[in-house]
Structure 1
Amino acid sequence: MDREDQRFRLPGRAARSNHAGRFEAHDRVAVDDGWAREEDLPPLRTEVRAERPRRMITYNRSPDLPFDRSINPYRGCEHGCVYCFARPSHAYLGLSPGLDFETRLIARPEAATGLRRELAASRYTVAPIAIGTNTDPYQPVEKRHGIMRDCLRVLAEARHPVAIVTKGSLIERDIDILGVMANEDLLRVGISITTLDGALSRRMEPRAPSPKRRLQMIERLAHAGVPVRVMASPMIPGLSDPELEAILTAGRDAGASHASWSMLRLPREVSPLMQDWLAEHYPDRAARIMSRLREMHGGREYDSAWHRRMRGEGPYAEMIAQRFELAVKRLGLGTTGSPMRCDLFRRPEKESDQLRLF
């Protein structure tokens, strides 16, 4: 059975289609010939293949972002969040931003080795590295591959500042490293909570930990001395945005010291995927939600312009921003954290330098 036919049962998957990426010349569409029976269809399982990247550190010049470099241990994400703005990146691999993004994953088992080499280079200048800004470093496959933990060991050895964004409870496995880094002011962690409604979360983030579990993550990290930011992201107008204050309150009560928010973004292939999902799960609200998004992006479903793409503009976006500001002030949450230390950085030894021991 050809995977591209999409004739699979889809338990635990958010995307409902697997259309070819925008760079592909052809697409395949499943047609029911009347012979296939639902009970005969196999479940769509996760596949992982390895990649050896030429570089681990990716640099950006975005004025919207508080960092200029990041690393990604994985491509694609098994959490399968239907709204994920990183889905279009799978098209560069000749894969679909739909089901392929959450089932055909790329692991980088030599990531830590490459990271060590780049940090050891004489031309490298230290500044905070962000992890998890594209795909989640603590997605389920990390339990088997351990790539993120290997990268953390390198960063901890180099005493290099790092900011991590995740929904994955596997981050608790690394508290032994994270606690030490936090004690040296080398770490910030953001935990993304889109909704407190477990049923809604399961529909749109099918393989991510539940909202309740993420609040436990905040609590355990904060107890270990790790500065945690509760990220109310993305806010979906007319669906999850009424929960903004409740999310911030729950995060603060769990131990978060800072907070942030962003609006739903629907770049490229994400828009039809999200609209299909809305039509299936919330047909009574789908038109209103999309209307609100277009209202915030000048009539378009998405506007990639700097300073507008993350939160939109107009009355509705301004209302959400005002609600956020009032809530964080009332709750005593910070919005801008203090800079992490860069003066502790010590260039790691290259692997060849180990020969000096002999």
Structure 2
Amino acid sequence: MPRRSRRALLAAAVTGFAGVAAGCGAPSNSSRTAESPARRLRGKSIFVADAVTIRVDDVRRVNDPTDADLAVFAATEDEETVRSALAAETIVAVVGEDARLTVERACDADGRSYGFCSDSWSADMNVVAAVPHSTRLETHVYTDVSVPDELPWALGETFSTGGSDCAGIDSLAAVPANAADSLTPVGASRIRSRTRPGGFDRWDRVQVATGPKRAWLVLETTATIVGGRDGFDADTVRLVDHFDQRLEGVDTAAHPADKVEIRTRGDRSEDAADHSFHPTSDAAHRSFTACQRAVVTVPELPEPFSYTANGRFRWRNPGFFDDDHWHHHTPGQAMWYLRPSDPFRR
């Protein structure tokens, strides 16, 4: 891991995901109602290690993880077993307090590009998954999952390809036209959680394009907030990214149907992308997706590529005299490992 910048060190001082809100504390499983489990698991073949307990129907159990659509391991599993499943193009999920470390080691041994959109660690990151693609791995971190009751929900989410609501909006910034055709995906990384007031789903996606004298790194973040529990509305999403590289351009969007006001914060001249998103319709107060795309340039591709990132989510429960707010953050430094075998390094 490279030596961190001053900004990154300041961000790393904030660990964990849950923020304290007025009248609220960390997320609690007891106040949530389980969503319909395992809808995406139906008809899938699943390997489940002996140390993992899972209650799910309508799936086909197999004895070999390399023959499964999804392999579920305990955090105590050795990285080589997990890596072998990834090599067979099996989605892997690891359950337990050290799930993040086990998956990260397996991804590193696999050899394909991968990343995590936050290097923060906490005990509630108890389900972590990696989804193999041809030249890259996609990582999922699920926080505060009650095992085994909510495990089917988290495992079903690994088959989701969400977070792309704004992918087709033309106003988002892009690299120069002469490099755009060579954009190559590095990977995607996700943080997903269900909290007392609702939930959130953050995706970071990185692409790379190279030219004769410099390279472009494109970061797209989509963050969905969901309200509707215990009287709480979706109130604000704020996306903050700090780069050590030169920030060439940044743009934001929300789906037009969501009716969301976007406010610019911070100073781009300091290589920072910082925007907040505020719903202006009843539908958006139930759920909306915020999108931010940033383009940075470098004389050569860094190894790894990192930036200080934070997704900040706020819910509001309107009161007669005062409103009650609930906050949740995803702080930390994003780390992306660009492998020598990738097309943009040839």
Q: TM-score, normalised by structure 1?
A: 0.27
Pick the structure with greater CA Rg: 1
- The structure in which a higher percent of residues are strand is 2
Q: TM-score, normalised by structure 2?
A: 0.27
